Amino acid sequence: MLRIAQVAYHTSPTAALGGSVAGGLNVYVLALSSELAALGYEVDMFTRRDGDGPEVEAVAPGLRLIRITAGPANPLDKADQVAHIGAFAAGVLDFTKREGRGYGLVHSHYWQSARAGTVVARRLGVPHLTMFHTLAEVKNRARISEHEPLERIRHERLAVRRAEAIVTGSDHERVLLERLYEGDPANIHTIPCGVDLERFHPRNQAADRAALSLDLDRPLLLAVGRLERLKGLDILLGALSQLDAPRPRLLIVGGGPESDDYRSELESLAEELGIGEDVTFVGPVPHEELPAYYSAADVTVVPSYYESFGLVAVESMACGTPVVASRVGGLASTVTDGVNGYLIPWRCPEPFAEKLEVLLHNPELRENFSRAARRSVERFRWRTVALKMAALYDEMIAAYQPRPGPPGEGFGKEAYEAAVLHGAR
H or E element in which residue 420 lies: helix 418-422
Non-local (6+) Cβ contacts of 379 within 8 A are: 192
Choice between 14 and 39, residue whose per-residue pLDDT is larger: 39
Helix H, strand E, coil C: the string for 153-215 is HHHHHHHHHHCCEEEECCHHHHHHHHHHHCCCHHHEEECCCCECCCCCCCCCHHHHHHHCCCC
Q: Is the pLDDT of residue 407 over 50?
A: no
The C-alpha atoms of residue 68 and residue 81 are separated, in whole angstroms, by 13
Element holding 129 (H helix, E strand): strand 128-131
Strands ordered across the beta sheet of 105-109? 56-60, 63-68, 42-48, 3-7, 105-109, 128-131, 165-168, 188-190
User: Does a cis peptide bond (omega within 30 degrees of 0) precede residue 246?
Assistant: yes
- Look at residue 59 in the predicted model and tell me its pLDDT: 97
Tens of pLDDT, residue by residue over 145-203, are 778 889 999 999 999 999 999 999 989 899 999 999 999 999 999 999 999 999 999 99
Q: What share of the chain is helix, strand, coil (3-state, %, to 5)?
A: 50, 15, 35
> Does pLDDT of 424 surpass 60?
no
Q: Say whether pLDDT at 412 is over 90.
A: no
Contacts of residue 261, defined as CB under 8 A and 6 or more positions apart, other chains included, come to none
> For the purposes of burial, counting CB atoms within 10 Å of the CB of 272, is it exposed (0-12), middle (13-18) or buried (19 or more)?
exposed
pLDDT exceeds 70 at position 20:
no
Give the pLDDT of residue 277: 96
pLDDT at 18 over 90: no
Structural contact between residues 314 and 334, judged by C-beta atoms closer than 8 angstroms: yes
What pLDDT score was predicted for residue 109? 97
Instruction: Give the C-alpha distances (Å, rounded to integers) separating 146 from 170, 224, 229, 260.
Output: 22, 21, 9, 19
Burial class (CB in 10 A: 0-12, 13-18, 19+), 388: middle
Question: What is the pLDDT at residue 419?
Answer: 54
**How many Å apart are CA 196 and CA 131, to the nearest integer?**
20
Is the CB of residue 200 less than 8 Å from the CB of residue 319?
A: yes
Q: What average pLDDT score do residues 86-93 get?
A: 97
Tell me the C-alpha distance between 45 and 4, whole Å. 9
pLDDT of residue 406: 46
**Same topology between domain 3-194+381-422 and domain 205-379:** yes
Contact 68, 97 (CB under 8 A): no
**Within 232-303, where are the H helices?**
233-241, 260-272, 290-296
pLDDT tens string 256-311:
777 889 999 999 999 999 999 999 999 989 889 999 999 999 999 999 998 988 89
Q: What is 205-379's CATH number?
A: 3.40.50.2000
AA letter at 342: Y
pLDDT at 1: 63
Q: What is the pTM of this model?
A: 0.87
pLDDT at 401 over 60: yes
Neighbours of 27 (CB within 10 A): 19
Smallest CA-to-CA distance from 128 within 165, 86, 173, 73 is with 165
> For the chain, which residues make up each domain, given as ranges?
3-194+381-422, 205-379
How sure is the predictor about 142, in pLDDT bands with cuts at 50, 70 and 90? Answer: confident
Residues in the chain: 425
Rounded CA gap, 114 and 9, in Å? 9
Across the chain, mean pLDDT equals 91
Which range among 137-146, 251-260, 263-272, 413-422 shows the weakest confidence by mean pLDDT? 413-422
Q: To which CATH superfamily is domain 3-194+381-422 assigned?
A: Glycogen Phosphorylase B; (3.40.50.2000)
Asked whether 420 and 162 are in contact (CB, 8 A), the reply is yes
Out of 141-145, 326-330, 371-375, give the one with best mean pLDDT.
Answer: 371-375
Question: What's the start-to-end Cα distance of the chain, in Å?
Answer: 37
Bridge partners, residue 381, by sequence: 195
